[in-house]
Amino acid sequence: MRRRRVIGVRAVPGASRPTGRRDDLLAVEEPLEVRVNGESFSVTMRTPGDDFDLVAGFLVSEGLIATASQLRTMRYCSGRDESGVQTYNVIDAALDATAALPATASARHVYTSSSCGICGTASIDAVSKASRFSLADDHSVIGIATLLRLPTMLRENQTLFDRTGGVHAAGLFTTEGDLLCLREDVGRHNAVDKVIGWALRDDRLPLAGTVLQVSGRASFELVQKAQLAGIPVLAAVSAPSSLAADLADTGGLTLAAFSRGDSINVYTHPERVGGIDAGIDGDAAPR
């Protein structure tokens, strides 16, 4: 976090009134260059912290690795600001021979923002990656009451959001509602990559019998990341996109969204959500 002096302003009838100067805490956003075996692969904007988890999860999301053994080492490379201070903004990941090393056609040689993780992909064909983990045999079930509690549990553990109000969160839960890992970042895709990277480094992939709860919307990209990590259920506080629902449907992932208090929409594979079949009578009116 960084402090910045701000002027508070309050609107009053017919005018606005400054309320004084104060320090505000801002979430840090800095670039991170990812290198693979010494070669530049991507530059992304992120909140510093859990960087090794971020890089490991990013490599899973890119389809390069799927097991901890494929990631031999990670290290910060020399990178210094104008005053000569180490910035810790370059990480080189050494992959073993079984990893799917990036080809020129799919390498990300352009800047990727913190709000969009796939817009830097050189070829649109590289977006649809085949997961090495099938969700077809994952018959885990989460109760509807537990699923509805996850956004509150996620929010209660967001320490960086409490202080800045400016980050997304992703939390990995068991189907019993136990929190396994939570990460925060200015980019929602980074928060998910940090969770997946934590799991890879702990040799937990595939993440069968787990639920990924995110603080924002459910995009195509987040569904893809969940599938590549073997996560069977993705729940979002906000809306899904049409492409996200299509990918979840074909990939066997349970997608739930608009999780608000005592209500939620289940878009695909509802068999993994226990207790929602009782009382359903015909089609409800469109949202």
**Catalytic positions, please?**
116
Token digits for 268?
């695909």
DSSP strands (E only) in 81-152: 90-95, 111-112, 142-143
Q: How far apart are CA 135 and CA 206, in angstroms?
A: 10
Determine contact, residues 91/77, Cβ cutoff 8 Å. Answer: yes
Environment class of 276 (CB within 10 Å of its CB; exposed 0-12, middle 13-18, buried 19+): middle
* Residue with tokens 């189907």, as numbered in its chain: 175
Q: How far apart are CA 137 and CA 250, in angstroms?
A: 14
Bond before 206 cis per omega within 30 degrees:
yes
